A and B are shown apart, each in its own frame.
Chain A
Amino acid sequence: MEIEEKLALLNYKTDPEYAHITVNPSICETCPDHFCTFACPAKCYTLIEGKLNFKYEDCVECGTCDVACSHGSVKWTNPKDGHGIKYKFG
């Protein structure tokens, strides 16, 4: 099963105005490992033609990328009031 099919099972209340995680593209550009692209279970981090692409909308709020990035690019906060992932089972 692909990640897209798995994420399609989930409910989100996406915040269109606030990205609770941001990355610093100038740091990611020179990153030697891009460990985030292997660590994030939701595959929010992908390399497209060698360039890091990040989408906060698919985030399941595990916190892994914040630990994975040892270069200080990831800024992690909780989504604002009631936004983000909404598990049915947990």
Chain B
Amino acid sequence: MSEFDAIVVGAGPAGSSSAIKMASGGLNVLLVERGDPPGSKNVSGGILWGKDLSSIIPDWEKSAPLERYVERKVTSFLTHDSEIAIDFKTKKFQQDKTGYSVLRTRLDGYLARKAQQAGAMLVTGVTVDSLAMKDGKVVGVINEGETITSDVVILAEGPNPRVAISAGLREKPNDKTVAVGVKQVYKLPENVINDRFNLRGNAGFAGEYVISFLPNNVFAGGFLYTNKDTISVGVVINLETLRKDGKTHSFDIMEQFVQHPYIAPFLEGGQLQEYSAHFVYEGGYESLPKPYGNGYMMVGDTAGFSFSNGMILQGMNYAISSGILAGESAIEAKKDNDFSEVSLSRYWKKLEVSPAILDKKNFRGINSVVWSGLVHRTIPALLETSLQNMLYETGAPKKHLSQILLKSMSSTGVSSKDMMIQGYRLMRRM
């Protein structure tokens, strides 16, 4: 007889959502978090996209610590001197909200409390050292040599899942499956943020940037999100190109981003509150681990559920939805009193028809585009040169757009054939 029906390792959005689902379904749940309080080890950009919480917390949009809703979404290329951006603002997001900026210490604390209210037992400041195994089955967790037993263990450790890795349930992260996120939070008065970003009320700004001005061929993206009275700003650094370069420091990339002539004015006068770093899961469909087995399921980043197509960065939504599906599967497995691999394959069946897997599958190979020279160097250079040529009034007769583009291509060293082939691939993958 196990001490718990389920033990959840990690009280982030994935783990707590799973715990809420299971505890509400009558399961006896232990939620173990190494941070004290929950969220204190976690970092996210972060925008919580979608409405995945609705099924477990119907009033979440009123009760959760949401900072601002996204009303203005910017997708942008930054070159050394310029910014070329799509700046999409719509009042439609005021009626039907698509995403909210959040701070993880607040959100994770809220979700863990919801899990407690649903009946889960929460312990914080406790590090699970390893999994307890018996006859090839996961039967619990081990902390400081002591075993706590359960019918099923839900691994919700985030993108650096030491317990799952040491148990051999998934591979160690590598240059292709993770990028390094570095983030800074600045404090600014609410009215200053509203004025600076052209916002009213609790409308918010979410910007994602291609940082194309880094030396050599280091690729990085940037983000800037408004919270109530703080701004979250950060970079996501591709490790493969950072390694190949071997001369650029991750710390300096963050500094260069916040000092960019079109980023710095947003942050001016802001007081730096926090510097943080965390993995961003980047692996594609091919590198997804098998997310279940005898006595265990993996959720959120631990299972590789995240998505980025260069326009949007998502993770918490998949964390929540996969956590709920794992919780549902555990409830069903409990009814059959069967937590074997065969029984828990029901989790995979649910995942296969959910966005967590479908988005990965449909956007297979997207990372080779997101982290390509085309996106990070060619397109920004071409756009900058073309716009410059188009807008610079010389007094001479004007040229057609096609002539300007061709001239810009030749001055940036791109052949039109290459551009067509690569552009077509980019459109197809995005």
Interface residues of A (CB under 8 A from B): 1, 3, 6-7, 9-10, 33, 35, 37-43, 60-64, 66-68, 76-82, 84-90
Contacts and interface: CB of A to CB of B under 8 A. Distances in A.
19 contacts: A3-B251, A38-B247, A39-B180, A39-B239, A62-B160, A63-B160, A64-B250, A64-B279, A68-B239, A79-B127, A81-B126, A82-B36, A85-B40, A86-B36, A86-B40, A87-B41, A87-B274, A89-B105, A89-B274
Contacts of B43: 87, 90
- The binding surface of chain A is classed by DSSP as loop
B275 A9 contact: yes
B278 A62 contact: yes
Contacts of B181: 62
B175 interface: yes
A66 to B, nearest CB: 7
B80 interface: no
Interface residues of B, number: 53
Contacts of A80: 127, 144
A39 B126 CA distance: 28
Nearest to B185: A89
B180 A62 contact: yes
B170 interface: no
Nearest to B104: A90
Nearest to B33: A82
A81 B34 contact: yes
Given A33-B246, A87-B39, A89-B274, A67 B185 contact: no
A90 B272 CA distance: 13
B274 A88 contact: yes
B200 interface: no
A62 B182 CA distance: 9
A40 B252 CA distance: 11
A71 B126 CA distance: 31
B55 interface: no
A85 B178 CA distance: 21
B288 interface: no
Given A10-B276, A39-B239, A84-B41, 20 more contacts: A3-B251, A38-B250, A43-B249, A60-B276, A63-B160, A63-B173, A64-B277, A64-B279, A67-B175, A68-B239, A77-B162, A78-B34, A79-B127, A82-B124, A87-B41, A87-B43, A89-B185, A89-B273, A89-B276, A90-B42
A40 B250 CA distance: 7
Interface string B79-117: 000000000000000000000000111001000000000
A3 B252 CA distance: 10
Contacts of A77: 162
Given A6-B272, A81-B143, A90-B104, A38 B248 contact: yes
A73 B254 CA distance: 27
Interface in B20-58: 34-36, 39-44
Nearest to B176: A67
B226 to A, nearest CB: 14
A3 B234 CA distance: 15
Contact of A38 (B160, B242, B272): B242
A43 B275 CA distance: 12
B96 to A, nearest CB: 28
A9 B251 contact: no
B125 interface: yes
B336 to A, nearest CB: 34
B274 A68 contact: no
A86 B11 CA distance: 15
> 4 shortest A-B CB distances, which residue pairs?
A82-B125, A90-B104, A63-B160, A6-B275
B196 interface: no
A67 B174 contact: yes
B231 to A, nearest CB: 11
B250 A82 contact: no
Contacts of A86: 35-36, 40-41
Nearest to A84: B41
B230 interface: yes
B274 to A, nearest CB: 5
A87 B39 CA distance: 8
B425 interface: no
B172 interface: yes
A78 B162 contact: yes
B290 interface: no
B162 A9 contact: no
Contact of B250 (A10, A41, A76, A88): A41
B230 A41 contact: no
